[in-house]
Structure 1
């Protein structure tokens, strides 16, 4: 079969550390073009991956014959660039959060449907081994009725990770629109929806900037979520966990408590109510720290969905629902009221 021609739009850290490497490792892909507003970054990346380099994505889409695009840009550009690429006849893998509003997300979904193309959002937490196993156990009734959960995703912030360090777009409200909640919290909203197999209906959010100076977005957030069936729990997202990253989730059920990525040696520990404990070594979760898992599974799944013409696990609708949880938390933080999610 002919290789799929892929373009990476945005050559920052997420492209360098995830998208480019994983596309390069996939035998069904040819990295045809790369684009970055910083010309030198685009050129260096293009040379490294044997691809044409551009500073304008419109230019790239016009001149190159591209099958699929990865959108690795600041959050405010996700929707416009994804829609342009979909209209140009490309399948799109877009980084999270998929958009800055519900309306933008709906426009992306509509563009994908109208053009008959795949739209996938890069929520990698669903592909983590411990998370997949936990979902299967919950679905099989191993934990019985689920009562509660707590999940957190925090590290010291994008300074050490983003290609622009302390000057990163992550810290600018006009480009990021949202801080730690958009960077990290949306991942956990997506994971919980996936693990529990149901939607959230109410959110109470405390969304703060209390750790970093000269930052116009949130860096510390704590939310309480309630699901359709009445499961209640907390979701926290932070750029102020300075000593060590925390990417853990605990699910409390009638028959068992499941601890995911909560132990240094075992990625999943199941503590049964009858006293039995089962420990799973399932490989490390992806991390920005050294030694984290390198292949997220996102790119391979995206490629697979194109080649086999099947719906991606995290399509536009799924991405939108996870985004809505975060938007509701922000609204709650602003209004000091519990926000109800639209059905």
Structure 2
């Protein structure tokens, strides 16, 4: 089989650290083009990995015939780049949040459908080994029904991660639209939906900018979620968890408790009411400091190779986005928002 020709649009941190190296490591892929308005970044990637550099995605799509595109741009461009790539006949992997409005998300899904291409959203949390193990254990039924939960994702902020540091687009409202919620919260709304195999029915959100100076994007959010099943829990997204961040989830169930990512070394812990305790060493989660393969790129490539729609589809990305948008609406109106 001939290799899948891939282009990457946006050559910042997520592209440099995850997408591009993971494509390069995949034997089914040929990286053919890179686009970034900071042309040196695109050129550096082209020099390192081969292929051509472009200053704009429009020019790239005009000049190159690619099979697939990774969209690693600031949030406000996700929809326009995705739709343009789909219209050019390319499969699309878009970073999260897939879009900044529900309407955009729907337009992206429609563009992919109309052009007969796949749309996948980079919700890598589903694929982290501890999360895969936790889902397997929960699905086995040994814990019974989930009653309450908490899920949290926090670190010290994008200044330590972004290639532009404190000058990053993450802090510019017109480009990011949302802060910690778009960066981290949407990962957790996606993960909890996936883990519980359930949908969010109601959301209350407390969202604000507590500590990051000179920005009006949110740096913290604490949300209360009620699921369709009746389970109730909290979702936290934070850019001010200095020194030691958090990517943990705890589920209190009929038959005991499951702790995910709470204890270094034992990534999943199940404590049952009958006294048994099970611990699973299944490998760590990726963090900004310690990159482990995300699994997202390989899953995307596998979908294309086998012609099977990605499980982390545009529709899934949109459902997870709608939870976050509802939390913002709750903060703005002071009401509980029904989904």
Cα distance in 1 for residues equivalent to 2:73 and 2:129: 27
**Superposition map of 1:264-343 within 5 A:** 264-289=264-289, 292-341=290-339
1:300-324 deviation line (CA, Å, top 9, x unaligned): 0000001101110110100000000
1:124-150 deviation line (CA, Å, top 9, x unaligned): 000011111111111121110110110
Cα distance in 2 for residues equivalent to 1:139 and 1:280: 16
Q: CA deviation at 1:99?
A: 0.2
Match of 1:74 in 2: 74
In structure 1, the gaps of 5 or more residues are none
Match of 1:22 in 2: 22
Question: Given the alignment of the two structures, is residue 94 of structure 1 paired with residue 105 of structure 2, yes or no?
Answer: no
- Secondary structure, in 3 states, of the residue corresponding to 2:247? coil
Cα distance in 2 for residues equivalent to 1:34 and 1:187: 26
TM-score norm. by structure 2 comes to 0.99
Cα distance in 1 for residues equivalent to 2:129 and 2:210: 34
Q: CA deviation at 1:64?
A: 0.8
Match of 1:149 in 2: 149
Cα distance in 2 for residues equivalent to 1:331 and 1:275: 43
TM-score norm. by structure 1 comes to 0.98
Cα distance in 2 for residues equivalent to 1:333 and 1:59: 40
In structure 2, the gaps of 5 or more residues are none
- Secondary structure, in 3 states, of the residue corresponding to 2:100? coil
Q: CA deviation at 1:293?
A: 4.5
Cα distance in 2 for residues equivalent to 1:81 and 1:28: 24
- Structure 1 runs of 4+ with >3 Å offset: none
Cα distance in 2 for residues equivalent to 1:286 and 1:140: 25
Question: Given the alignment of the two structures, is residue 176 of structure 1 paired with residue 176 of structure 2, yes or no?
Answer: yes
Match of 1:53 in 2: 53
Question: How many residues were matched structurally?
Answer: 339
Relative to structure 1, is the Cα distance of residues 293 and 271 closer, same or farther in structure 2, using a 3 angstrom cutoff?
A: farther
Native 8 Å contact 1:143 1:253 kept in 2: yes
- Secondary structure, in 3 states, of the residue corresponding to 2:117? coil
1:78-122 deviation line (CA, Å, top 9, x unaligned): 000000000000000000000000000000000000000000000
Cα RMSD of the aligned pairs, angstroms, is: 0.7
